[in-house]
Amino acid sequence: MYPKDYRYTKEHEWIKVDGANGTIGITDYAQHELGDVVFVEMPKVGAQLKTREPFGTIESVKAVSEIFSPVAGEVIETNSALVDTPELINKDPHGGAWLIKVRLGDPKEAAALMDAAAYEAYIAGQAKEHSA
């Protein structure tokens, strides 16, 4: 379920590093918690992102969630498909519904984040808390 070459944050974002660049999205767990996505607010190309700072929001009918950047970097592309079909986030959160591509401030920064196994353990713990 969770791609092994991605890295994950506690706020349920993923990042796939590709040399000097990275692709960022939200995880399947996150989209499931949000429910049907109706709107995505994304930063402009060229925006400077700081680690752990919000760079956009994802809206469902009854809730708004901020998206936090896993790394520092500069936005080089945003996923235009999400403008017309935000529901893609629910259907393909790890693939076609990537949010932004960034030029990484430090290509090694993402390595310190959770890997797939650690993230899966993390969300298993979260699920237990919710049903308690």
Partner 1 sequence: MRYLPKSPSERREMLESIGAKNIGELFESIPEKFRLRAPLALPAALSEPEIIQYFQARAAENSRGYTSFLGAGVYSHVRSVVTDALVQRGEFLTSYTPYQAEFAQGTLTAIFEFQTLMCQLTGQEVANASMYDGSTALTEAVLMAERITGRHRVLVARSVHPEYRHVLQTYAKNLGIQIEEIGYAESGQLDRAALKKESLEQAAAIVVQSPNFFGVIEELPALAEAAHASGALLVTGIAEAVSLGIVRPPSDADIVAMEGQSFGISPSYGGPYVGVIATRDKFVRQMPGRLAGQTTDGEGRRGFVLTLATREQHIRREKATSNICTNEALFALVATIHLSLLGKEGLREQALQNLAKARFAQAELEKIPGVRRVFSGPSFNEFVLEFPRSVKMVNQELLREKIIGPFALGTHYPELTKRALVCVTETTPRAEIERLAAAIRKILERPV
Partner 2 sequence: MSYKSTEIESPVGKILKAREHVSQNEGLIFEKSATGKRGMELPPLDVPAVDASKALGPEFTRDAIEGFPEVSEIEVIRHFTRLSTWNYAIDLGMYPLGSCTMKYNPRVNEFVARLDGLATEHPEQPAEVSQGCLRILYDLQKCLLAITGMDAATLQPVAGAQGELTGLLMIRAYLQSQGNARKTVLIPDSAHGTNPASVVISGYEVKNIKSNARGQIDTDHLREFCTDDVAALMLTNPSTLGVFEERIAEIAAILHERGALLYMDGANMNALAGVTRPGDFGVDVMHLNLHKTFSTPHGGGGPGAGPVLVKKFLEPFLPVPVVVQKEDGKFALDHSRVQSIGRVRAYCGNFGVLLRALAYILAYGPGIRQATEDAVLNSNYIRKNLEGVFDLPYNLPSMHEVVFSDARQKKHGVNTMDIAKRLIDYGFHPYTTAFPLIVPGAMMIEPTESESREECDFFIESMRSIAAEAETNPELVKTAPHSTRIGRLDEVAAARKPILRWKPEQGGSR
CB of 103 to partner 1, least distance (A): 24
Contacts to partner 1 by CB under 8 A:
39, 59, 61-64
Cβ-based nearer residue to partner 1, 59 or 120: 59
Cβ-based nearer residue to partner 1, 38 or 72: 38
Q: Contact between 41 and partner 2 (CB under 8 A)?
A: no
Measured CA angle at 34 (ends 59, 82), to 5 deg? 50
Amino acid letter, residue 128: K
4-33 positions binding partner 2, by CB under 8 A: none
Scan for tokens 């390595």, then name that residue.
111
Amino acid letter, residue 46: G
Q: Quote the CA–CA distance of 114 and 116 in Å, as a whole number.
A: 7
Q: Contact between 111 and partner 2 (CB under 8 A)?
A: no
Q: Quote the CA–CA distance of 132 and 117 in Å, as a whole number.
A: 23
Q: Which does 36 bind (CB under 5 to 8 A by kind): partner 2, partner 1, none?
A: partner 2
Q: Contact between 36 and partner 2 (CB under 8 A)?
A: yes
**Residue 15 β-bridge partners:** 7, 24
Alpha helix (H) residue ranges in 20-115: 28-34, 81-84, 88-91
Q: Which does 18 bind (CB under 5 to 8 A by kind): partner 2, partner 1, none?
A: none
CB 85 within 8 A of CB 52: no
47-86 positions binding partner 2, by CB under 8 A: 59-61, 86
Residues in contact with partner 2 by the rule CB under 8 A: 36, 38-39, 59-61, 86-87
